[in-house]
Structure 1
Amino acid sequence: APDCPPPARAAVASLTPGRRAPWIAQAARKGTRIFADVGWDDTGAWDLAGLADLEHCEAFLPNAEEAMRYTGSTCPKAAAHALTEHVPVAVVTLGAEGAYAVDRRTGETAEVPAIAVEALDPTGAGDVFVAGFVTGTLAGWPLADRLALAGLTAALSVQEFGGSLSAPGWSEIGAWWRRVQSLDTQNPAALRRYAFLDPLIPTHLDRPWPLRRAVPTIGFGRNT
């Protein structure tokens, strides 16, 4: 990480137990909003005090197992609430069950189920989830909409091979949204959860679903 991070509206950090990253505090002091995740604690300590940079973060996005171990909770939702004693926004990913989030400042809570898709490659899906949540946050959306976009972008990403190259853009999001609205079998309540997409998708991005991309990684193939 650079010693003097450039100005930015937001940054994503991966916290390391027992170690500070000086750039996080420097960026936060300059007004950058920090969104953090964390890897598995190989030491087995699972001590939130060891995540010293959490004090500079706006949001913390662990998975359910990590959240419960760090808080000593037996329930992911309880863990999310406990984490907001240390960070304003806690987002706990629940795997196939979706995600749950709490915003201490507004009092909002939100739960969004996972979107069922045919997964080809999960590489980078967690990073795409965080990017979707950051996007919604910078746009000033309600917590539930931020969580829904994060889950949707992650779900779309696993349908493509590769890491960052699998991250969907508005073309993919728009094509998916028009497709699911056209299906008679869709649950109306589920569709309403994503109705916030309507004014966001440019009308000129009217492309069919599913979209197909070039395979970005040598050694992968796609059945056609």
Structure 2
Amino acid sequence: RPGGATPTHDRALVTHGQEPPYSQDVLMGDPPEARTALAHLEAEPPGWLAKAAANGTQIYADVGWDPTRKWSTDLLEQLSLCHAFLPNETEAMAYTRTDTAVAALGTLAELVPVAVVTRGGDGAIAVDQTTGEYAEVPALPVDVLDATGAGDVFGASFVAASLGGWPLAERLRFAVLAAGLSVGHHGGALAAPGWYGVDRWWRSPSDPELKRAYGFLADRIPADVGPPVRYAPVTPPAPRP
């Protein structure tokens, strides 16, 4: 950093990427029967996506950062195969050529039955055309330690709540809660709270207003919340020679 300035609100990943030895279609073959599937949309749609949709699987999709910054609207054509689309607001606005998250949601709602736009510290908004519901929920007030994988935790939690047939506002609040709890720990999947973490949060002292907003959890948390979650340990950097 020039001048030794310390960056704020900055996140960087150092990784190595290469083409996988096998395509998704080779690995997937004929997709098994499933009620839902989480998919990451790419410029070239895999063949298994259409097969799964034709078999009645509801596809919940997200999308990643476009390094070319072209944000081709051709990608949105794949939403015809999807039941739900869950981009973040930067991606949503870029692909829909809009300048607000609400406008992007309106455009996406015309392309897919359930449209969700995540907004980081501003929470999330969603429209479910199958039920006529609209929901907007704030983010959980937490100290962010590591945001890696928070979007995946959000998506998985939204799917789980959807399978339970919850109202849209409850689905959205549950996903925001799970993602919010995950960013307080290191790592991606290992930071997911699970029912144990959700139950622990629910039973701990918290803001009365939050308790009221999440009152539905009293009837949603299962009797058996499973074993304690084992969070990822921190790996300290190796000392310099």
On the 8 A contact 2:88/2:119 being kept in 1, the answer is: yes
The runs of 5 or more residues in structure 2 that have no matched partner are: 1-23
On the 8 A contact 1:58/1:88 being kept in 2, the answer is: yes
Q: 1:129 to 1:214 in 2, by over 3 A?
A: closer
Equivalent position SS for 1:170: helix
Number of residues of Structure 1 aligned to a counterpart in Structure 2: 211
Percent identical? 50
Partner of 2:134: 109
Larger radius of gyration: 2
Q: 1:219 to 1:31 in 2, by over 3 A?
A: farther
Superposed CA offset, 1:135-162 (max 9, x none)? 1111111111000010000011112222
Partner of 2:64: 39
Aligned amino acid, residue 3 of structure 1: G
Aligned-partner Cα distance in 2 for 1:124–1:206 = 22
Q: How does 1:1-224 map to 2 (within 5 A)?
A: 1=24, 2-17=28-43, 19-179=44-204, 182-183=205-206, 186-188=207-209, 190-203=210-223, 213=230, 215-216=232-233, 218-219=235-236
Normalising by structure 2, report the TM-score: 0.80
User: Runs ≥4 in structure 1, deviation > 6 angstroms?
Assistant: none
The runs of 5 or more residues in structure 1 that have no matched partner are: none
On the 8 A contact 2:79/2:112 being kept in 1, the answer is: yes
Normalising by structure 1, report the TM-score: 0.86
User: Post-superposition shift, 1:50?
Assistant: 2.8
Aligned-partner Cα distance in 2 for 1:212–1:45 = 40
Aligned amino acid, residue 122 of structure 1: A
Aligned amino acid, residue 120 of structure 1: L
User: Post-superposition shift, 1:52?
Assistant: 3.3
User: Post-superposition shift, 1:43?
Assistant: 3.3
Superposed CA offset, 1:80-136 (max 9, x none)? 011011111110011110000011222211011000112222211110000010011
